[in-house]
Structure 1
Amino acid sequence: MTVRRSRLAPREVPPGKRPILLIGANGMAREVLDAVRAAGSHEPVGFVDDDADRHGTWLDGVPVLGSLDHVRAYPDAGLVLCASRGGARASLAGRLAALGIAENRYLTVCHPSVQVPRGCLLGAGTVLLAHVALAGDVRVGRHVLVMANTVLHHGNVLEDFATLAAGVSVGAEVHVGSRAYLGMNASVRERTRVGADAVLGMGAAAVGDVPAGETWAGVPAQMLRSWVEPW
């Protein structure tokens, strides 16, 4: 919950912890904040958000410090992008790069309930929320968001900025393209491909490839439209 507007004082970072800034003061940011706090290795010092009405407020005990360029005021802080849509995260990453923010500033956030087997690779800026299950040889790109209770089987590849909503189940050797969005409780058959910028609707079951830029829904999933969402 967002509460009171007040003067923001610098937050102290306990010894042994690295500060972290969360990019976006929204509902998804609250879930990412919960994962950061549960992991315990980083201290959340604030949110940044372009919505001026949020500046000077507090969200779940963490201040909203200012707009995106406020990141430069915290050069030692790690960063995580909290937008729920991959296209929005890609846009934020591009804007931060234009501000001179280096890629090594981005942190991977993994809730402590998640076990990452040997052989799995997680890209910078990726977020795995509570009770995500990974089998061996899962490769996850940069700034991927995997929400709670998602299941990833062996050989999965998730490209940069992909988004998997809560409860998604992905069969073995599935390839999910960049900025693709898999809705809550959707499922994908093994050895298939979800193309870049594709959308698989909530509860849908993809039994074959979902082409790039198309929106599919239903059981079995069928195409609803063919265009890229302006995210």
Structure 2
Amino acid sequence: MSKVILLGAGGLAREVLDGIEACQRAGQDIQPIGYIDADAALWGQEINGLPVLGGLDWFDEAPGRRDIPLIAAIGAPRSRRHMVQEALRRGLQFTSLVHPAVHLSSRAQLGLGVVILAGCVVENRASIGDFTVINNLCFIGHDVQLGAYCTLAPGALLAGGSRLGDGVDFGIGAATRQGVTIGSGAVIGGQAMIVEDVPANAVVVGVPGRVMRFFTPAWEEE
């Protein structure tokens, strides 16, 4: 079987593990062997039947470990970017996970290390950036462009032609009007309706969405 390791040991990692098990039931050759997490307090614990193996140094402690790919399973975009970039700096590998209960257009494009969970729809000519996480029951319309390291919470709805920059944290049940652009590092609150362009690093809530403040430090400055 093809071994994989989950990068992160929190709630999203447990959801990703459920997705891996669904892939196994669908006949895919994939075997999770544990979690890697920066929190030393978790090392040695067992979560949903898998051990927390340690931090990224675990890969250097025995031959062959560096050949096992990671799945990026950290929910917060900034934390995910930090851990993924450190793993890449060490020369580690990543793979993607697409739940078998996803409708994925043959004309959609997926970057490296993407995670798409159950019930999502990814339509014609949508483009998903590297290390982006799309949680359960999201709709990604035609020609949508998602940057790297985005997180879409469950039930997010992106109308056709919407464009999200890198590291956008898009809340549960939030939605966009067709063709809207959201700048990198923006945070969109749950149930917000985005009807006009959103500047980078803005925190937006409400219907229609309105900018409440700006996230600091900016995405580009971290």
Counterpart position of 2:110: 122
Q: Which amino acid aligns with 1:38?
A: A
Counterpart position of 2:81: 90
Whether 1:138 and 2:126 are equivalent positions in the alignment is yes
Offset at residue 89 of structure 1 (A): 1.1
Cα distance in 1 between the residues matched to 2:169 and 2:11? 17
Q: Which amino acid aligns with 2:14?
A: R
Offset at residue 229 of structure 1 (A): 5.7
TM-score after normalising by structure 2: 0.92
Aligned length in residues: 212
Counterpart position of 1:4: none
Q: Specify the SS of the correspondent of 1:75.
A: helix
**Contiguous gaps of at least 5 residues in structure 2:** none
Maintained 8 Å contact 1:168/1:183: yes
Maintained 8 Å contact 1:48/1:71: no
Q: Sequence identity, in percent? A: 30
Maintained 8 Å contact 1:214/1:228: no
Aligned-residue RMSD, C-alpha = 1.4
Counterpart position of 1:191: 179
Q: Which amino acid aligns with 1:203?
A: Q
Cα distance in 1 between the residues matched to 2:52 and 2:216? 31
Q: Which amino acid aligns with 2:112?
A: A
1:109 to 79, 88, 97: 97
Counterpart position of 1:100: 91
Maintained 8 Å contact 1:138/1:156: yes
The alpha-carbon distance between structure 1 residues 229 and 149, as it changes in their structure 2 partners (threshold 3 A), is farther
1:39 to 18, 23, 34: 23
**Contiguous gaps of at least 5 residues in structure 1:** 1-16
How big is each residue's C-alpha offset from its partner over 1:54-89, in whole Å with a ceiling of 9 and x where there is no partner?
111111011111112213441221111111011111
Whether 1:77 and 2:68 are equivalent positions in the alignment is yes
Cα distance in 1 between the residues matched to 2:22 and 2:67? 21
